[in-house]
Amino acid sequence: MNATLRPIKNKAELGLAELFAAAGQRLPGGPAIAKLRAIAFDRFAAAGLPHPRIEAWKYTDLRRLMAEAKPLAALPDAAARSRAADAGGLFAGLGFRRLVIIDGSFVPELSDLADMEAGLTIQAMASAFAADDLGQAARLSPAAEDSAAVSLNSALAADGVVVEIAPEARIERPIHLAFVTTTEAASFVKSLVVIGNGARATLVESHEGPDRCGYQVNSVLQMLVGDRGEVEHVKVIQEGDAALHVGTLLGHVGSQAILREYGLITGGAVVRNELTLRLAGERTTATLHGASLLAGRQHADTTLLVDHQAPHCESREVFKSVVDDEARAVFQGRITVRPDAQKTDGKMMARGLLLSDAAEFNCKPELEIFADDVQCGHGSTTGALDDELKFYLQARGIPEKQAEALLIQAFVGEVFESVAQDGVREALLAAMTAWLDGRG
Amino acid sequence: MTALLEIRDLQAEIDGRQILNGLTLTVNAGEIHAIMGPNGAGKSTLSYVLAGRPGYEITGGEVFFRGEDLLAMEPDERAAKGLFLAFQYPLEIPGVATLTFLRTALNAQRKKRGEAEMSSPDVLKRVRELAKELSIDAEMLRRPLNVGFSGGEKKRNETLQMALLEPKLCVLDETDSGLDIDALKVVATGVNQLRSQERGMIVITHYQRLLDYIVPDVVHVLSAGRIVRTGGRELALELEATGYARYQDEAA
């Protein structure tokens, strides 16, 4: 890219350079991977941490919000493992196949790797790095030149999981990637999910960690969905109240595929969750729904790019933000329709519900259309709870907070209605209820 | 015996405009009081002030409900104590299923009164019985509250809520507005089934027609925020014949 070179200057950027210099020997991978790491870091160093003058980061000044670089997380010791034993409790008891990633490291001993279905392969990303296979390099170090978060991740990621579903394999049992942080450190974690042609899977991600602990997570999930693939992917961010979470989903979807993508953000001091979805084959249907429930001084930014590259695809985006206290929700959504993507049907809706005078919702929907026969639209609303509705509920004996909770649930409701897995949908609703109960 | 509701010299304003000007009214258990009056007399204000709608400022007077200071209670406390306002214009709440709403309201009231909450199947059973009596389609219960309901369906739904919640005092605010005669009969039948020696009702209406179906014990004329005349059922018939002009002149 043609980013202008500029000197690294702030504390966090200097810290990251030191981290990279010092970590070189420790990071897994042979010379091929090491070279990719160096290229990725140079790419990051050239541009530095993102700031509001970069349009894609207009509302999230990472340079300001990320005051310093934390040391790289160590391999989880016995204490960390014991603290992480209940990781992903939101999806506990549902019989999902849980894969535990502690402080950025995949821990097979705590993961459910028994009775693997035919066609399902799971391995540690560290092993994939160690194989140092240049043929795999593109998959292990995705090219996303304009994303500082992905560049940093490509440079510093030590581990994660690689999940592969063979063509035509139908994996009914949901796979749960339970990410947990146990210590005030930085973890860079990279995962790869490959859904073969005609394969089907459900994948849920949970991200959590302790409160009052200023840890940092940079998580990249690359998802490659083959032709006729069907995947439901859910990401729940319930990080601790002082945590920084920078997440990126890089999705590439073939033809006639069905993708249902759901996000819920309730935790973290600063969250940036970016989803880039490239619809590369014809007649694919993508549903992207998300909700952010924020309070205190939380800042959560959901940034979305749906790139329609092929004809006859349909995408539906619905994102809701509920913002209390002095919190701030950001939604940036862009639908791009390439010249070849005729007959694209794309609709995006973003709505904010502000529960206090100091709460903020920044919304930036964009359509970028290069084809001439498409149906695309977007809408956005921001408002407060309706006092008349609240009074009606109260007049029937429902206390004020409970009346608000009902109206908030009604506002968020449709986001998770289409979740196919009952257990997943109920877990998402339970997380929402827990957040509402937390309001007192 | 303590009166069910005792309003003494009530004065209230909204946005700096005085609406109630010293209203005094006593309702005992077992009685049905009709309050009639011209537009702008303060009929709806009275119902909203009793239910505790925000935005009204009480500038004078007192209201006792079952011996307690009603005006000091939050709207949900008033409901749990047994006050029910049937809204003139019931609100639509998208995303909240009617049945969920009914269950939540019933159990919130029971909880506040220290009673055991009712299980979902028990609530469903009770709601179905009542719905049948009021000719409410069971399908309607699954739909979001009042969304897409006709005027008649909304009023029947209000009556259903009233029957389920078993209040001590029902305040019916222009229940007849927006109803055709068939819907009016269904609603009135539902209301009449709730008549009892333990329960009082205030029926607010502009027209005497409703009182053919819900027959009151006492009729009051409200004008310029005060009760200016009280009589028996015949007063309603007289008003029907002569109109409200006389009372508007008196108040002016």
Dump pLDDT digits (tens) for B96-128: 999 999 999 999 999 999 999 999 999 999 999
Secondary structure of residue A179 in the 3-state scheme: strand
Between chains, do B108 and A394 touch, taking CB under 8 Å as contact? no
Between chains, do B108 and A397 touch, taking CB under 8 Å as contact? yes
Of B51, B74, B91, which has the smallest distance from its Cβ to A389's Cβ? B91
Report, as an integer, the average pLDDT of A313-322. 98
Burial of residue A249, with CB atoms counted within 10 A of its CB: 0-12 exposed, 13-18 middle, 19 or more buried: buried
For residue A355, is pLDDT > 70? Answer: yes
Of B51, B96, B100, which has the smallest distance from its Cβ to A395's Cβ? B51
Between chains, do B74 and A407 touch, taking CB under 8 Å as contact? no
Q: How far is A92 from chain B (nearest CA, A)?
A: 25
Domain match, A269 and A412 both: no
B-chain residue closest to A408, CA distance: B95
Residue range of the domain that includes B46: 5-251
For residue A277, is pLDDT > 70? Answer: yes
Q: Which of A25-39, A76-90, A218-232, B100-114 has the lowest mean pLDDT?
A: A25-39
* pLDDT at residue A25, rounded to an integer: 74
Residue range of the domain that includes A129: 11-281
* pLDDT at residue A135, rounded to an integer: 67
| Domain assignment present for A6 | no
Q: How far is B63 from chain A (nearest CA, A)?
A: 17
Q: Tell me which chain A residues have a C-beta less than 8 angstroms from the C-beta of B104.
A: 398, 402, 406
* pLDDT at residue B242, rounded to an integer: 87
For residue A225, is pLDDT > 60? Answer: yes
B-chain residue closest to A411, CA distance: B95
State whether residue A401 sits within 8 Å of chain B by CB.
no
For residue A46, is pLDDT > 60? Answer: yes
pLDDT, mean over chain B: 93
Secondary structure of residue A424 in the 3-state scheme: helix
State whether residue A23 sits within 8 Å of chain B by CB.
no
Of A388, A402, A409, which has the smallest distance from its Cβ to B91's Cβ? A388
For A112, other C-beta atoms within 10 Å of its C-beta total 17
B-chain residue closest to A409, CA distance: B95
Q: What global pTM score does this model have?
A: 0.90
Q: How far is B84 from chain A (nearest CA, A)?
A: 7
Q: Tell me which chain A residues have a C-beta less than 8 angstroms from the C-beta of B112.
A: 397, 399
Q: Which of A385, A396, A433 to mutate to test the interface with B (most CBs of B within 10 A)?
A: A396
B-chain residue closest to A387, CA distance: B54
Q: Give the tens place of pLDDT for each residue, A189-207.
A: 999 999 999 999 999 999 9
* pLDDT at residue A440, rounded to an integer: 67
State whether residue B215 sits within 8 Å of chain A by CB.
no
Q: How far is B82 from chain A (nearest CA, A)?
A: 9
Q: Tell me which chain B residues have a C-beta less than 8 angstroms from the C-beta of A399.
A: 74, 76, 108, 112
How many Å apart are CA A433 and CA A371, to the nearest integer?
Answer: 43
* pLDDT at residue B252, rounded to an integer: 44
Of B95, B108, B144, which has the smallest distance from its Cβ to A399's Cβ? B108
Report, as an integer, the average pLDDT of A397-403. 96
Query: How many independent structural domains does chain B possess?
Result: 1
State whether residue B208 sits within 8 Å of chain A by CB.
no
| Domain assignment present for A328 | no
> Are A312 and A318 in contact, with CB atoms under 8 Å apart?
no
Between chains, do B80 and A397 touch, taking CB under 8 Å as contact? yes
Of B75, B104, B165, which has the smallest distance from its Cβ to A391's Cβ? B75
State whether residue A391 sits within 8 Å of chain B by CB.
yes
Q: Tell me which chain A residues have a C-beta less than 8 angstroms from the C-beta of B106.
A: 397
* pLDDT at residue B245, rounded to an integer: 82
Per-residue pLDDT 10s for chain B (252 aa) are 689 999 999 999 999 999 999 999 999 999 999 999 998 899 999 999 999 999 999 999 999 999 999 999 999 999 999 999 999 999 999 889 999 999 999 999 999 999 999 999 999 999 999 999 888 988 889 899 999 998 889 999 999 999 999 999 999 999 988 888 888 998 999 999 999 999 999 999 988 889 999 999 999 999 999 999 999 999 998 888 888 888 875 554
Q: Which two tokens stand for residue B1?
A: 């015996």
Report, as an integer, the average pLDDT of A245-272. 98
Tell me what ipTM this predicted complex has: 0.96
Q: Which of A262, A281, A300 is the last residue of a domain?
A: A281
| Domain assignment present for A363 | no
pLDDT, mean over chain A: 94
Q: Give the tens place of pLDDT for each residue, A109-148.
A: 999 999 999 999 999 999 999 987 766 766 766 666 568 9
What 3 state SS string does A85-101 have? CCCCHHHCCCCCEEEEE
Between chains, do B53 and A391 touch, taking CB under 8 Å as contact? yes
Q: Give the tens place of pLDDT for each residue, A383-397.
A: 999 999 999 999 999
| Domain assignment present for A393 | yes
Domain match, A394 and A270 both: no
Q: Which helix (H) or strand (E) holds A17?
A: helix A11-23
How many Å apart are CA B158 and CA B146, to the nearest integer?
Answer: 10
Q: Which of A231, A261, A281 is the last residue of a domain?
A: A281
Burial of residue B97, with CB atoms counted within 10 A of its CB: 0-12 exposed, 13-18 middle, 19 or more buried: middle
State whether residue B142 sits within 8 Å of chain A by CB.
no
Between chains, do A397 and B53 touch, taking CB under 8 Å as contact? no
CATH number of the domain within which B164 lies: 3.40.50.300
Please name the residues in contact with A94: beta carbons below 8 A apart, sequence gap of 6 or more.
A174, A423, A424, A427
In chain A, % of residues over pLDDT 70? 95
Amino acid type, A46: A
A283: left (phi over 0), alpha (psi -120 to 50) or beta: left
For residue A414, is pLDDT > 90? Answer: no
A-chain residue closest to B49, CA distance: A395
DSSP letters of chain B? Answer: ---SEEEEEEEEEETTEEEEEEEEEEE-TT-EEEEE--TTSSHHHHHHHHHT-TTEEEEEEEEEETTEEGGGS-HHHHHHHTEEEE-SSPPPEEEEEHHHHHHHHHHHHHHHTTPPPPPHHHHHHHHHHHHHHTT--HHHHHSEETTT--HHHHHHHHHHHHHHH--SEEEEESTTTT--HHHHHHHHHHHHHT--TT-EEEEEESSTHHHHHS--SEEEEEETTEEEEEE-HHHHHHHHHH-SHHHHHHH-
Q: Which of A281, A298, A324 is the last residue of a domain?
A: A281
How many Å apart are CA A368 and CA A354, to the nearest integer?
Answer: 29
Query: How many independent structural domains does chain A possess?
Result: 2
How many Å apart are CA B218 and CA A386, to the nearest integer?
Answer: 37
Count Cβ–Cβ pairs < 8 Å, chain A vs chain B: 76
How many Å apart are CA A84 and CA A101, to the nearest integer?
Answer: 9
Q: Which of B96, B161, B162 to mutate to test the interface with A (most CBs of A within 10 A)?
A: B96
Q: Give the tens place of pLDDT for each residue, A138-192.
A: 676 666 656 899 999 999 999 999 999 999 999 999 999 999 999 999 999 999 9
Q: Tell me which chain B residues have a C-beta less than 8 angstroms from the C-beta of A395.
A: 51-53, 75-76, 78-79, 85, 87
Q: Give the tens place of pLDDT for each residue, A333-347.
A: 999 999 999 999 999
How many Å apart are CA A293 and CA A272, to the nearest integer?
Answer: 14
For A370, other C-beta atoms within 10 Å of its C-beta total 12
Q: How far is B48 from chain A (nearest CA, A)?
A: 10
Between chains, do A410 and B96 touch, taking CB under 8 Å as contact? yes
Regarding predicted confidence, which is higher, A8 or A180?
Answer: A180
